[in-house]
Amino acid sequence: MAELWGLTVEPVERRTDLLAAPVADAVLARSGDGPLGVAEIDPALADTTAFCERYGVPLKVSANCVIVAAKRAGALRMAACVVLATTRADVNGVVRKHLDARKVSFAAQDDAVARTGMEYGGITPFGLPADWPVLIDAAVVAERRVVVGSGLRRSKLVVPGGTLAQLPAATVIDGMARATPA
């Protein structure tokens, strides 16, 4: 165990009970850039702002994973976008162009939960369906360490930023995110 910010971080291999099933499968099967940790948190504080305030995690190292639905010619394609909490994904610009879609919107909460097998507020790029693109803003990958969801609201993963770029369906995109207005 290690203390990091206000979190008690343990190796994921020791605490798979803190991971949604598809996330546990993905992190245990991975080979990657450095060890992954998991920290148990209060599930009522899983949302980014509350989490960062309570546990002292800087927003600049907290990464959000949002699920989008891309449409073109009647076909629907799901994808994940990973950006730092200090930014927002450019869904209607960069993401839409990258996915070659006519329209991109955030997936409905119940649809995202059903398709990922994860809890809303805990969705992570680990363990997503294999055919989903995982678009990651370059700023996330540049961080030495980032905090992302675990698939459950009651925990967070702590991972080297570069590990996300090694996910099977990952594409790192420079400038995918825009700064959040102050």
The predicted-structure confidence for 127-172, as pLDDT tens digits, reads as follows 999 999 999 999 999 999 999 999 999 999 999 999 999 998 999 9
Q: Give me the pLDDT at residue 2, please.
A: 86
| Weakly modelled stretches of the chain, pLDDT under 70 | 31-33, 182
Q: Give me the pLDDT at residue 29, please.
A: 85
Q: Give me the pLDDT at residue 33, please.
A: 61
Q: Give me the pLDDT at residue 35, please.
A: 82
Specify whether the CB–CB gap between 162 and 82 falls below 8 A: no
User: What is Dmax (Cα atoms) for the chain?
Assistant: 50
Q: Give me the pLDDT at residue 50, please.
A: 94
Q: Which two tokens stand for residue 156?
A: 């967070």
Specify whether the CB–CB gap between 120 and 112 falls below 8 A: yes
Q: Give me the pLDDT at residue 15, please.
A: 95
Q: Give me the pLDDT at residue 73, please.
A: 86
Identity at 128, one-letter amino acid code: L
pTM: 0.93
Q: Give me the pLDDT at residue 102, please.
A: 92
Phi, psi of 73 (to 5 degrees): 50, 45
Q: Give me the pLDDT at residue 170, please.
A: 96
CATH of domain 2-161: 3.90.960.10
